[in-house]
Chains A and B, each alone.
Chain A
């Protein structure tokens, strides 16, 4: 039987499997499936693993996540307060960095794998590896060096420090974030993650000007990638656009996969990436909340029509909001499975 991993590998190599790979990122939905509050659900690695496996059985997409919520990274760096909602994802509630002195005090764990806050992630990964390893790509979410400070001091304070300085303080923090980034990637890989989603909104020209991207963001992207290699790495800007930087990121790092924003022109992204790498076409999952099933199917077809020609294509979602009706999730996936089948791919 063809597995999700086979589909992903085929797409990366420019070969065809039965259909294109389909990534569907259902995180908070796991809690609902298990009838738990998000807080109860995310407290245990076995819950998250069980939730992911049930999602896979229910919807038949290709990937699973070891990610519980993005704020986990702040917890690994000392955050002890997470705000849980009943109808949405958990958020960092208390920042680790309040004052300049806190930057000096920030300590990066030597071995993230052995950190108590990583224990549940590790448990989750153990189970996923045992149950679906090698068959379904296991994804890890890692915030880039330049974006990580947002989780430690908030977006507002980080923008201030990043753009208005003092530069030494900014650089001291970035150095620590880079150190953590490298150790975190290593911990996830050693625990069995296959795909590293490199999340870098500060590598999008929606967030920073091009001049700044070239002068500040790019050197950190290069450093990050030199340290971890490009194996399994996907460039992702947190759903912000990336078409303007794909070429540069590719030339400077060799990253082979791009998780394009739904606000980007997908056909253009595909032209830029061409046969050099994997183009991931992403649906605007906020609109999935109130689209009709017919709208959903039409949008999936539009994305596939723009992205499939020439192969090396993956269909994906963002972090799917809980408010999306299950019928729309099914309609989206059915259409992607059907329209993304090999038969159709060969006919183009």
Chain B
């Protein structure tokens, strides 16, 4: 039978494009379909005056400087034949987990010296327990594409209680915050192997940011895909999928119908099944509930240099105000956002960021807040309400940053800062839903994952968030692993028979 392609990939999110690169590298005819006008998915950027504004990216995880060993990021780039140097990564100097009870500072791995000092200061009794957790994670092997992982789900909270037995419960809360907010599709917990992945990604390896922001990565990935002979169609929305008589897939899109033996989708599990059967609900996995608003504001640097304290020095701040615990869940009904915690990011604080994405006398602050999708879906129906809600997010985000700075000993008034804002933008769950197409704007996908990428349909595979690896680096790994397993390896077992 004459098929148009060997593999069609739905969605050019980070996972879709790496699945595309690997498939094309192995000599397959690959078609990558993306509804937006640029690749990257949730991680994208836009230009405003002389500024390039990143949409998704705060930081890459899994970074180790080359002289300190090989992090997961190095391995991924090797698989894609992208030179590590070409990403021009700048490390974070330090990041902070800030609770009312105290803060813990951490730097990049592989040693956890800075982190350990913080633990010793705040939890003098628990240093050994913390180190035994570090050793557990160092020795924990994660099988990447493993169906058993789904059956063996364990709660990270419960496992941590065992590993850290006798420790101050606040230590557990503080360690969970970054791992949850950077990678959990469950409320208030995550799967233990996912915790191990995140702990390694954030603390044993670490944060970095490419010079020029996410655009650098997007350009490199796109160029590699085209170099390997991949076909890319942008502004091409997939409308439906049908299985042909000979088991081939027929993909109906706004730019025509294409056939292929295999389909890989990064559009989400439920989202993909709905392309096949409108009533795919019996197959539906629990809809993910975790979504965010994101406020971005650009200030003159001078606005924050005050009281001889200099500028804030951390790159990422995990900021929490609830006494004794961190709440990682959709805000309650009729509440747009959770204003008791925030992920605050200072993207200009990465080292070696020679080429800034904004003029050098300016500074960007990004604030992500947990949001309630259902509420935003109602809000957006009345334009004036929606706009007012966006304004409210901006205000609350600024106030949270000011409350954080106050913890650091710098007092600034709201109006003082608000008046100096040069540029701002607010993304809501509705923006994310409209842009990426994910149900419920669930940033980390649905609650249930398909760790081996398989679906109820033959030759249809999932990569990205609903396979289970999240974040920019996780998504890239997911695409590679799925293509390796089903496009490259399985093809070989077939030809050998």
Does A associate with B in a complex?
A: no
